[in-house]
């Protein structure tokens, strides 16, 4: 084929192809649920992975609004709704049957003049709350006559901020390898002192992104991309601090302001931030979208690569300064020996970030860490 006859794929076509592949993959996972055991949380983890995949696809559809027409957006949204319906139907087949039922027949919402939409709440993905979440409808129903309804968020009880989410994570359900703390009643996100856990923050955590901090983590996977992605209804961190983390994979998400990273070893970090400052780190791979020159100090063995496109779809690639690193402890004219550009062949592939890092049926924490090169001699 001549050069003139070659067709260059447009962003719209690329998105369509990737969306089709992701939907087919999720449908296959839904079809396989019946073959998975409910023992040791295998089926539960698979369902959690599918829900995360649907949520990510929804975020990606929103992020693609610049080059995907409104009609196609509606088509993609309908496809996601069908996926959610299929998952709900599959889950209903696994639900344990009650030994007895009340004989009295309940009047349907249609017959009683109630909320028509309420009849379908159990089949609506918006009501499939994360661990520790609260049904929005039940929260609003608790407003007494004469109270100002407000916007719902301002009505949270003041004592709720004292909830210990780290304790909830540590003592989570034994049948699940993945933790999804809601942070729905917190003012900021603080994760600390965890080992060998896979933590994924759901969208409900977006109300707590005024600040974020991860400290003292070992052998963990932490994914904070969903609540900080603006395209899916999230809110970026105002600031973020990562400190004392070892042999872990951190998907830090979006940060509107500075991201301070201190004392990391043998890990991989993905972050989209305006500023990134790195101190006292060794043998760490950074996947960045950074709006200013990254700064390192007292570091060695750092490697840098651009953030995967689907994590930085709302950012201009031309403004990404991921490879313009300043080493404050290297004042010589030649290149600092403390950092380098990660070769393309050694970078984590886009499809791995998209499909494997969130977890997948049958995969354990160590499987995913090994896949991305954490804890191995070479990535």
Helices (H), 143-253: 165-170, 225-228
pLDDT of 249 reads 97
- 316 falls within a domain: yes
pLDDT of 248 reads 97
- 313 falls within a domain: yes
Neighbouring C-beta atoms of residue 228, cutoff 10 Å: 27
- 30 falls within a domain: yes
- Side-chain-side CA neighbours of 76 within 13 Å: the count stands at 27
Q: For residue 88, what are the CA distances in angstroms to 33, 46, 127, 136, 362? A: 12, 13, 11, 19, 21
Residues 218 and 346 in one domain: yes
pLDDT of 140 reads 36
The pTM assigned to this predicted structure is 0.61
Instruction: Give the burial class of 74: count Cβ atoms within 10 A of its Cβ; 0-12 exposed, 13-18 middle, 19 or more buried.
Output: exposed
pLDDT of 110 reads 42
Residue 55 belongs to a domain with what CATH number? Answer: 1.20.58.1250
pLDDT of 150 reads 38
- 56 falls within a domain: yes
Residues 265 and 357 in one domain: yes
Count of domains for the chain: 2
Residue 357 belongs to a domain with what CATH number? Answer: 2.160.20.70
3-state DSSP of 12-32: HHHHHHHHHHHHHHHHHHHHH
Domain with 325, as residue range(s), is 177-371
Q: What is the dihedral of CA 52, 58, 62, 68, to 10 degrees?
A: 130
Three-class DSSP category at 260: strand
Residues 181 and 90 in one domain: no
Helices (H), 176-246: 225-228
pLDDT of 376 reads 59
- 85 falls within a domain: yes
Closest CA to 69 of 20, 10, 7, 124: 10
- Round to whole Å and give the CA distance between 156 and 185: 7
Three-class DSSP category at 209: coil
Last-in-domain residue among 94, 125, 145: 94
- Round to whole Å and give the CA distance between 352 and 364: 15
- 165 falls within a domain: no
- Round to whole Å and give the CA distance between 90 and 123: 11
Per-residue pLDDT of the chain (379 residues; tens, 9 = 90+): 444 455 677 877 788 888 888 888 888 888 878 777 776 667 777 787 788 888 878 878 877 777 788 778 788 888 888 888 888 888 888 766 555 455 555 554 444 444 444 444 444 443 343 444 443 333 333 444 444 333 333 333 333 335 788 888 887 766 667 888 888 788 889 999 999 999 999 888 888 888 899 999 999 999 999 899 877 678 899 999 999 999 999 999 999 999 999 999 999 999 999 999 999 999 999 999 999 999 999 999 999 999 998 888 778 888 999 999 999 988 888 899 999 999 999 999 998 998 888 877 677 889 999 999 997 544 4
Residues 318 and 198 in one domain: yes
Residues 88 and 181 in one domain: no
- 168 falls within a domain: no
pLDDT of 141 reads 38
Q: How many residues does the chain have?
A: 379
Last-in-domain residue among 62, 94, 126: 94
- 127 falls within a domain: no
Helix axes 42-63, 70-94, angle to 10 degrees: 170
pLDDT of 151 reads 37
């Amino acid at each position: 084929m001549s050069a003139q006859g070659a067709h260059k794929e447009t962003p719209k076509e690329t998105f369509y192809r990737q969306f089709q592949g992701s939907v087919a993959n999720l449908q296959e996972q839904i079809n396989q649920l019946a073959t998975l055991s409910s023992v040791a949380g295998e089926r539960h983890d698979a369902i959690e992975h599918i829900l995360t995949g649907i949520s990510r696809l929804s975020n990606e559809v929103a992020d693609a609004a610049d080059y995907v027409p409104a009609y196609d957006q509606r088509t993609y949204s309908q496809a996601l709704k069908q996926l959610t319906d299929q998952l709900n139907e599959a889950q209903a087949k696994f639900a344990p049957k009650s030994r007895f039922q009340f004989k009295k027949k309940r009047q349907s919402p249609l017959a009683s003049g109630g909320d028509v939409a309420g009849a379908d709440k159990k089949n609506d993905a918006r009501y499939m709350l994360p661990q520790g979440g609260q049904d929005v409808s039940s929260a609003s129903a608790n407003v007494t006559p004469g109270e100002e309804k407000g916007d719902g968020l301002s009505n949270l009880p003041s004592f709720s901020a004292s909830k210990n989410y780290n304790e909830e994570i540590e003592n989570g359900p034994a049948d699940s390898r993945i933790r999804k703390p809601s942070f729905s009643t917190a003012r900021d996100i603080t994760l600390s002192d965890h080992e060998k856990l896979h933590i994924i923050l759901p969208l409900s955590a977006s109300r707590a992104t005024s600040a974020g901090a991860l400290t003292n983590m070992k052998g963990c996977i932490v994914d904070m991309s969903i609540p900080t992605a603006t395209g899916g209804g999230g809110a970026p961190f105002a600031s973020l601090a990562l400190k004392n983390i070892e042999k872990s994979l951190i998907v830090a998400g979006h940060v509107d302001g500075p991201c301070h990273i201190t004392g990391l070893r043998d890990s991989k970090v993905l972050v989209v931030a305006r500023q990134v400052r790195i101190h006292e780190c060794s043998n760490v791979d950074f996947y960045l979208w950074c709006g200013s020159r990254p700064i390192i100090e007292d570091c060695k063995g750092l490697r840098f690569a651009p953030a995967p496109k689907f994590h930085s779809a709302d950012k201009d690639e031309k403004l990404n300064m991921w490879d313009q690193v300043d080493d404050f402890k290297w004042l010589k004219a030649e290149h600092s020996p403390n950092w380098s550009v990660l070769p393309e062949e050694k970078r984590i592939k886009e499809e791995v970030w998209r499909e494997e890092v969130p977890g997948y049926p049958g995969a354990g924490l160590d499987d995913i860490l090994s896949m991305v090169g954490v804890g191995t001699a070479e990535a």
